[in-house]
Structures are given as structure tokens and as C-alpha cells.
């Protein structure tokens, strides 16, 4: 684990404008920088960077944060990977916490395997580009496939000489340990002999999402029927073929930008698409699609378009992967190429614009695709047709979102000309068998209007709470360290029982006032991120006696810097329109001048909604109330009236 002192040195050294400037063209705009959003295809700049606050905000998507969060959003690095990238940029030595001998050994093993794999990638690539044999065999193969030199370099393609141990000898001469050559699968060791696993093959390095070399795919160039056409690295501590997608490193930015991922089968499919300008594409590399691979895409987009070639038998085998994608809550579309064509051949035989148009025009919903694929067999056979319907309903049942399931059921009923109720009943049985809770009732009996109305009311209450909770966080971040004059009402009762109220004035920090109010009522935020952020702020107050926004911006949970940035950068929004009050001779009070009222308003409103919720819960219970319970409800109502009075409202 990276030490806290290293992380602090990284944060002290990193300049957000310098980091983002490597990825986005920024122009000076007053005290800030402005640029086009790297996350959307916009024409008017809405991406702002504040060198003073060391934060950024993309007003087109709502994303924001510091240098770390930018790397995590744009490059899809993990938190440690982002720290290491910055440490490398600013020449900071990374210190890691003391590990056990076993942990150190495991770490060293993995790191050594990565080093060997990276050496292999460079060796195969340079050998192909810079030696006579490499050019004559490896490079000529790729050029015959129509791959340009920039494409070959982009994917680090290479060639392993058709000699028993050419690569192994070169690696040993460079000081790499045979142990790691064997554990990565690059070298096969038998008794006292060792030889290259990929001899005589063109090489396709397989990158992780952050760009590290995990393994290789090698294609044979001879017609040897005994040898496999494609050979992959064996499973190892760093390479698990079920957990990686070929091309994810080269495609991740475009997948996020296009909000869609094309899924193909082979290495050359991916490379040909890139060369044709379609970069949001990955391959399962001939293996059956797995949940881990789908989750990799899910980090970048919710939309997958599966591309099938014209081979009907291959489609039937691969279509099972669609159910896995649906299970992950993702949206699926399908494109089928004409008979005899696959993504690679189609891309080569058509122009870039023709390929893009075909993908757009041919994409269809998975239900329509499944029906069109299977309906021919079931056309005149009622039993087969019933089986097809069950097959489609089974796929729909994999979808976790109930609304989406219902929409698909309606679509299936329309296409197959069958009653929705029958399909809902079939769905309920499938979900019941799979152990889903409450689904049978949901599909056998539709929710009535009263239930929906109740849900809407609850949602409205949650939204009101979330708005007030965000306002509390906003006041704390912007004005938490300010000292303000407050007023407190003190109730006095004389000997005759007459009540009088006196006003006591006092000065307090805004943060302390809010904390005491919430502490008195034992209030917890309904929004978990706001609650986590509030706890962080209270911890700072306890330790530092002030709020340090910089610490919050450097938080390891990216959602916290995102919220903090959003609040701090609201004033910088280029699309924000304010009335010109001064020209109308209307002068607005400074925010600090009305802080006392702002604090009281937000706290009293929060109390009001929570009390409303308590009263409604009590009143909806079907039971006889005791005198104590009646008195409690009366007290709640009295408190509500008092709060309305404080807020200058009429009950």
C-alpha cells in the first residue's frame, strides 16, 4: 500500500491545470482555464479548471474533482494507479507500507512477471520492425492484412522468430530470470531444455485497462494442421483470460465518450475497426463471454452492441452471452453481418463511412434479433413457437430492472402476437424459480394507483431531504469557518405559570452551530455520500478545529471530491445566468450577512420534514392509540406549528 506521506507529496506537487493540460486543450479565462469537455462531443466549452482551488468541473456531465479524480474519470485508472501516474510525472519516489515477507514475495513475483512481459512486447515489436526476418515474415503478414504502420505501433504488434529459443536466450542475456519466463508462459521449460512458446508466430500483446502487458496471443503463419491457429498465454498470476478483453486499453476513452461498446470475437476484428475509425470496440478473444469481462465494459458504459458474422451456427452458440450481459443490467443491441462476412472482412471491403452507416442502420434490439433468428424454424410449428417465446421470456427475466423487464414483455407480446398476461405469468414463474423476491406478486397483479402515489410521495420526501442535506454541506464548505451572530429563544415561566420568551444573542462558528443542532436531534443524512462527507467534516472540526477543503478534495472516495467540486465551482458555470440586480438599483446582501438566517432555515426545514415523516408514520398505523401515543403525536404537531412559525409560514 502506498504510504500516506507519498500521497501527500503527490498532492502537494501536482498542479491540476498541468495534469489536465496533457489531455485537454485549455485556454485562459480570467483566473480559470476553459476547454471543451473530454467526456462529451460539445462545441461550446463548459469544462472549467481552477488553478487557485486546484479543482475542475465539467458542467456538461456534472463530473468534477481534483487531478486524481480526473485521471480516474478520463483514463479509468484506479486510485493507486492515478497516484503512481502523478508520482512518475513529478519524479516522486513511491514509498509503500511495510508488508509481510509473504506479501513482499507475492508483490515481487507479480512485478517481475510484468517486467518480463513488457520486455517481451518490446522485443517482438522491435524484432519485427528492425530485422530482415521480422520484416520479411511478420511485418509482411500484417501489411498483407491491410494494417498500416501506425496501427501496428498502436497495438504493439510483433513477431517471434521461428527458432527454438531465440527469445528466451535474448531475455536471459538481459538478466531476466527463467523462473518468470516460465511463469508468464513465454518460455516452456522441460528438464534441462527450454524453448519459446510462440516461435514462428505473429504476436498480439494483451493489455490491461491501465496498459500493462498481461499476456499474448500468437497466430501461426504456416499450414501446420497439428498446431493451433491461435495460441494464448497460459493462465498465470497476472493473466486470466476470463477477466480481460482484448483492446480495452486502446478503446476505453472512446467507449466512455460514445457511451457504447462494440463486442467482437477476434484480435483482427478489433484492429481493423480501429483502422476504420471505429475505436470503441473490444474482443472476447475466442473465449465464451464472462461476467467479469462484461463488468469491465460496465465501468465505461451501460450499452453493448454485439457484432455477429453471417455464420448462423456461430451465432446460435454466441447468443448465450447476451443473457449474461442482460444480467449485469446493461442494454444490448445486435448487429449481424451479411453471409460470409465478419467484422474484419467487412471493414476491409467497405469505406469508413459505409462501415459506420452499416453499424448504425443494422443495430437492432436483442428481442427482434432473437425472433428473426429463430422464427424461421418455428414458423409453422406451435410447439417450437411456444419454445421460442419461453426462450425470449427467459432472456428478459435476466434483466434486473423491473420497468425495463415490463417494457420488453410488452414488446415481445406485440411481436409474437400473444397476450401480455400470459407472458407476465411465465415471467413470474421463472423469477420465482430463480429465487427473486416479491416478483411473482409484481407480475401476477399490477400495482394499483394508490401504491404508485405513495411511492411518489416517499420519493418527493427523499428528494426534499437530499436537497436540504446538500445545502447543509454547501454552507459548511463555503462558510463553515465563519463566525456569525446567532439568536436563541429562551422560554421563561414565572410563579403564576405565565410564559415569556427572551432573545439571547451569541457568536459562534457556522460549523459548530450546525453540528450542535444536528447532534441535539441525533439526525443522520438520508444520502449516504452526504453522510460520509458530513462525518469527514466533523472529524476535521474535532482534530483541526476548522474545515480543510483541500483534504476533502483529495479524498480516496471519488464521489466526495465530485460533490465538493460541484459546490465550489457552481459560481464558475459558464451557462449560469444571473439577473443584473445592480443595474436595477437592487443591491443583494452579501451571503455572509444572511448566514444566520440560512443556517436556521435549513436546519428548521430539515426538522420539519423529519417530523412530518414521523407523524405520517404514526397516523397510518391501523391500531388503537394509547394516551401516551396520542400525546406524542400532539407534541409532534405542536413542534411542527412552532417550526412553521419560525420559518414565517402559515399552517
Do 155 and 79 belong to one domain?
no
Residue % of the chain over a pLDDT of 70:
82
Query: What average pLDDT does range 630-639 have in this prediction?
Result: 60
Distance CA 46, CA 575 (A): 8
**Are residue 208 and residue 314 in the same domain, yes or no?**
no
Comparing CA positions, the residue from 565, 564, 641 lying closest to residue 608 is: 641
Last-in-domain residue among 443, 465, 498:
443
Query: What is the helix (H) or strand (E) element at residue 332, kind and residue range?
Result: strand 331-336
Residue 356: per-residue pLDDT? 96
> Which one, of 483, 498, 612, 481, lies nearest residue 547 by Cα?
481
CA angle 258, 266, 111 (to 5 degrees): 85
Q: What is the mean pLDDT of the chain?
A: 83
Residues 362 and 426 in one domain: yes
Identify whether 391 is part of a domain.
yes
pLDDT at 440 over 50: no
In a domain, 426, yes or no: yes
- How high is the pLDDT of residue 459? 44
**d(C-alpha 494, C-alpha 500), whole Å:** 8
Q: How confident is the model at residue 234 (pLDDT cuts 50, 70, 90)?
A: very high
For residues 227 and 262, state if they share a domain: no
Q: Kindly state the average pLDDT of the residues 270-289.
A: 92
Closest to 335 (Cα-Cα) out of 443, 408, 263, 246: 263
Q: Which residue has the higher pLDDT, 635 or 285?
A: 285
Kindly tell me if the per-residue pLDDT of 532 is higher than 80: yes
% of the chain exceeding 90 in pLDDT: 34
Q: What is the CATH number of the domain that holds 66?
A: 3.90.580.10
* Pair (282, 409) in one structural domain: yes
Q: Give pLDDT tens digits for 133-187.
A: 999 999 999 999 999 999 999 999 999 999 999 999 999 999 999 999 999 999 9
pLDDT digits (tens, 9 = 90+) for 87-135: 999 999 988 776 556 655 655 788 899 999 999 999 999 999 999 999 9
Q: Which domain holds residue 219?
A: 108-239
Radius of gyration of the chain (CA): 32
Can you tell me the distance from the alpha carbon of 321 to that of 264, in angstroms, rounded to the nearest whole number? 12
Residues 456-485 have pLDDT tens digits of: 444 455 578 888 888 889 988 888 888 888
Confidence (pLDDT) at 451: 40
**Residues 298 and 376 reside in one and the same domain:** yes
234 plus 284 within the same structural domain: no
> Which whole number is the average pLDDT over 44-62?
89
Question: Phi and psi dihedrals of 52, rounded to 5?
Answer: -65, -50
Question: What pLDDT was estimated at residue 645?
Answer: 58
Residue 637 lies in a domain: no
Q: Are 250 and 154 in contact (CB under 8 A)?
A: yes
pLDDT band of residue 630 (cuts 50, 70, 90) is low
Q: Is residue 267 domain-shared with residue 413, that is, in the same domain?
A: yes
- Collect all residues with Cβ–Cβ distance below 8 Å to 469 and sequence separation of at least 6: 525, 526, 527, 530, 534, 606
| 158/230 same-domain check | yes
Cβ–Cβ < 8 Å for 297, 258: no
pLDDT on residue 643? 52
Pick from 213, 239, 265: which residue ends a domain?
A: 239
Query: Which tens digit of pLDDT belongs to each residue from 366-380?
Result: 888 888 777 766 777
Q: What is the C-alpha to C-alpha distance for residues 566 and 577, in angstroms, rounded to an integer? A: 17
Co-location of 365 and 433 in the same domain: yes
Task: Pick the range with the lowest mean pLDDT from 104-113, 505-514, 560-569.
Answer: 104-113
Q: Which of 294-308, 590-604, 611-625 has the highest mean pLDDT?
A: 294-308
Q: Are residues 130 and 276 in the same domain?
A: no
Cβ-proximal residues to 121 (8 Å cutoff; 6+ apart), any chain? 156, 158, 203, 205, 213, 216
Provide the CATH number for the domain around residue 400. Answer: 3.40.1360.10
Judge residue 298's burial from the number of C-beta atoms within 10 Å of its C-beta, 0-12 exposed, 13-18 middle, 19 or more buried. middle
> Domain ends where: 209, 239, 269?
239
Q: Decide if 302 is inside a domain.
A: yes
Phi, psi angles (nearest 5°) of residue 231 = -130, 130
CATH code, 208: 3.90.980.10
Predicted pLDDT at 103: 56
Residue 135 lies in a domain: yes
3-state SS assignment for residue 352: helix
Check whether residue 187 and residue 276 sit in a common domain: no
> Per-residue pLDDT for 587 more than 50?
no
**Does a structural domain hold residue 620?**
no
Give helix 559-568 / helix 67-74 axis angle, nearest 10°: 120
Would residue 645 count as lying in a domain? no
- The grid coordinates listed for 560 are 466526495
Structural domain tally of the chain?
4
564 occurs within a structural domain = yes
Amino acid at each position: 500500500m502506498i504510504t500516506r506521506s507519498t500521497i501527500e507529496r503527490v498532492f502537494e506537487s501536482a498542479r491540476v491545470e498541468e495534469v489536465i493540460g496533457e489531455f485537454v486543450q485549455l485556454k485562459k479565462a480570467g483566473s480559470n482555464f476553459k476547454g471543451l469537455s473530454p467526456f462529451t462531443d460539445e462545441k461550446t466549452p463548459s469544462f472549467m479548471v481552477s488553478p487557485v482551488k486546484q479543482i475542475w468541473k465539467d458542467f456538461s456531465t456534472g463530473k468534477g474533482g481534483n487531478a486524481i479524480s480526473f485521471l480516474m474519470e478520463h483514463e479509468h485508472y484506479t486510485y493507486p494507479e492515478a497516484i503512481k501516474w502523478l508520482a512518475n510525472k513529478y519524479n516522486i519516489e513511491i514509498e509503500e507500507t511495510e508488508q509481510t515477507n509473504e506479501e513482499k514475495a507475492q508483490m515481487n513475483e507479480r512485478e517481475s512477471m510484468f517486467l518480463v512481459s513488457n520486455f517481451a512486447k518490446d522485443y517482438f515489436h522491435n524484432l519485427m520492425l528492425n530485422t530482415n526476418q521480422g520484416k520479411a515474415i511478420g511485418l509482411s503478414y500484417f501489411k498483407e492484412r491491410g494494417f498500416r504502420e501506425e496501427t501496428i505501433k498502436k497495438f504493439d504488434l510483433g513477431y517471434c522468430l521461428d527458432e527454438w529459443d531465440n527469445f528466451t536466450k535474448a531475455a536471459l542475456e538481459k538478466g531476466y530470470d527463467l523462473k518468470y519466463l516460465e511463469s508468464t508462459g513465454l518460455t516452456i521449460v522441460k528438464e534441462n531444455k527450454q524453448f519459446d512458446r510462440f516461435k514462428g508466430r505473429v504476436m498480439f500483446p494483451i493489455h490491461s485497462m491501465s496498459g500493462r502487458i498481461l499476456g499474448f496471443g500468437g497466430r501461426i503463419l504456416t499450414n501446420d494442421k497439428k498446431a493451433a491457429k491461435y495460441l494464448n498465454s497460459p493462465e498465470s498470476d497476472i493473466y486470466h483470460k476470463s477477466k480481460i478483453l482484448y483492446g480495452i486499453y486502446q478503446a476505453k476513452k472512446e467507449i466512455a465518450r460514445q457511451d457504447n461498446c462494440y463486442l467482437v470475437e477476434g484480435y483482427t476484428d478489433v484492429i481493423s475497426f480501429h483502422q476504420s475509425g471505429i475505436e470503441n470496440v473490444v474482443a472476447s478473444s475466442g473465449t465464451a463471454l464472462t461476467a467479469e469481462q462484461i463488468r469491465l465494459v460496465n465501468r465505461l458504459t451501460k450499452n453493448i452492441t454485439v457484432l455477429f458474422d453471417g455464420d448462423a451456427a456461430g451465432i446460435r452458440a454466441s447468443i448465450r452471452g447476451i443473457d449474461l450481459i442482460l444480467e449485469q443490467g446493461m442494454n444490448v443491441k445486435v448487429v449481424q453481418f451479411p453471409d460470409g462476412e465478419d467484422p474484419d472482412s467487412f471493414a476491409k471491403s467497405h469505406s469508413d463511412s459505409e462501415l459506420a452507416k452499416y453499424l448504425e442502420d443494422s443495430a437492432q434490439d436483442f428481442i427482434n434479433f432473437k425472433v428473426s433468428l429463430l422464427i424461421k424454424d418455428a414458423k409453422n410449428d406451435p410447439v417450437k413457437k411456444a419454445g421460442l417465446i419461453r426462450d425470449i421470456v427467459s432472456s428478459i427475466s435476466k434483466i434486473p430492472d423491473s420497468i425495463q423487464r415490463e417494457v420488453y414483455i410488452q414488446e415481445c407480446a406485440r411481436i409474437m402476437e400473444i397476450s401480455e398476461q400470459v407472458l407476465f405469468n411465465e415471467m413470474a414463474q421463472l423469477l420465482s424459480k430463480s429465487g427473486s423476491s416479491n416478483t411473482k406478486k409484481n407480475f401476477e397483479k399490477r400495482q394499483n394507483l394508490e401504491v404508485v402515489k405513495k411511492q411518489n410521495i416517499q420519493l418527493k420526501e427523499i428528494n426534499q431531504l437530499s436537497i436540504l442535506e446538500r445545502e447543509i454541506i454547501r454552507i459548511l464548505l463555503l462558510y463553515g469557518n465563519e463566525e456569525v451572530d446567532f439568536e436563541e429563544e429562551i422560554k421563561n415561566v414565572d410563579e403564576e405559570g405565565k410564559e415569556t420568551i427572551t432573545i439571547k444573542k451569541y457568536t459562534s462558528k457556522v460549523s459548530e452551530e450546525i453540528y450542535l443542532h444536528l447532534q441535539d436531534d441525533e439526525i443522520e443524512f438520508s444520502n449516504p455520500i452526504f453522510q460520509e462527507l458530513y462525518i469527514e467534516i466533523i472529524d476535521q472540526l474535532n482534530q483541526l478545529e476548522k474545515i480543510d477543503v483541500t483534504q476533502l478534495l483529495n479524498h480516496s472516495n471519488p464521489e466526495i471530491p465530485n460533490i465538493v467540486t460541484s459546490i465550489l465551482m457552481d459560481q464558475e458555470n459558464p451557462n449560469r445566468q444571473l439577473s443584473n440586480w445592480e443595474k436595477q438599483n437592487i443591491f443583494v446582501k452579501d451571503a455572509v450577512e444572511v448566514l444566520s438566517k440560512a443556517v436556521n432555515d435549513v436546519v428548521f426545514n430539515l426538522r420539519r420534514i423529519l417530523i412530518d415523516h414521523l407523524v405520517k408514520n404514526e397516523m397510518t398505523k391501523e391500531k388503537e392509540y394509547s394516551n401516551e401515543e396520542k400525546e406524542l403525536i400532539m407534541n409532534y404537531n405542536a413542534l411542527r406549528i412552532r417550526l412553521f412559525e419560525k420559518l414565517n409560514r402559515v399552517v
